[in-house]
Amino acid sequence: MALLAVRLPANPKDWSDIDLLRLTLRNQEKAWKELVRRYRSLVYRCITKVIGRYDAVLSSADADEIYGEVMMSLWRDDMRKLRAYDPRRGTKLSSWIGMIATNTSYDYLRGTARRPILDRIDGDPEIDSEEASPLDGILSTERRSHLNEMLADYSDKDRAFVSLYYAQGLPAEEVAEEMNISIKTVYSKKHKLLARLQSTLAPLVRQASASPLAPA
């Protein structure tokens, strides 16, 4: 009880991480707001570090969606992930939250229906691999121009679909509303366009794989 009597600084910005966590776990609104303020930039840095290599097919909306999921993961189940933090292990609270943000970002790339097209076409590589794939080499500096060239022969509706569903990351419901089509048509068109893109990309992937500059 003696610990509870300790007077904290009036300004939440001056609270230690341990005090902040303790008050957050008591569902104090002021503490939760301070936790969000204190670690917002860190969470976004972790997110952009993971999804940055897919900037041709992911947008800021994806980063915002992942950020929202990170915050929800910290809050849900009576803040189970925050309660699992143990300072006695020598890990800083910021490192713990950063790890959660990083893992959530990888989960988003692996599991979301709006996962980058080119990542899926490339044979579902390990996302956290440090070694670039041949396709990554093609797209490193010219990914946008390659994508635009591939879409040049597509209809206006197909290009609009790719922009809305993949580039902007809109959910199927919003794409259906935007294009005035049914949800069923959205999923049907998604599979057809994915198959067509895969066919278009196949020669480029083979060419990159055969290049002497391609990773061994």
Task: Determine the pLDDT at residue 18.
Answer: 93
Per-residue pLDDT of 195-205, as tens digits, reads 776 666 555 54
Given a contact cutoff of 8 angstroms between Cβ atoms, the answer to whether 146 and 138 are in contact is yes
Given a contact cutoff of 8 angstroms between Cβ atoms, the answer to whether 98 and 43 are in contact is yes
pTM above 0.75, yes or no: no
Average pLDDT over residues 131-146: 44
d(CA 139, CA 54): 9
d(CA 127, CA 106): 7
Average pLDDT over residues 122-133: 40
Per the model's pLDDT, the better-predicted residue between 6 and 98 turns out to be: 98
Given a contact cutoff of 8 angstroms between Cβ atoms, the answer to whether 46 and 102 are in contact is yes
What the chain holds in terms of domains, given with CATH numbers, is: 16-111 (1.10.1740.10), 132-210 (1.10.10.10)
Mean pLDDT of the chain: 74
Across 18-27, 148-157, 181-190, least confident range: 148-157
Given a contact cutoff of 8 angstroms between Cβ atoms, the answer to whether 100 and 70 are in contact is yes
Average pLDDT over residues 205-216: 47
d(CA 125, CA 142): 20
Task: Determine the pLDDT at residue 35.
Answer: 94
d(CA 27, CA 130): 39
DSSP assignment, residue 152?
Answer: T
Q: What dihedral do alpha carbons 54, 59, 61, 64 form, nearest 10°? A: 40
- Nearby residues of 34 by Cβ (< 8 Å), 6 or more positions away: 12, 13, 15, 20
Burial grade of 109 (CB within 10 A; 0-12, 13-18, 19 or more): buried
Per-residue pLDDT of 109-121, as tens digits, reads 876 544 444 444 3
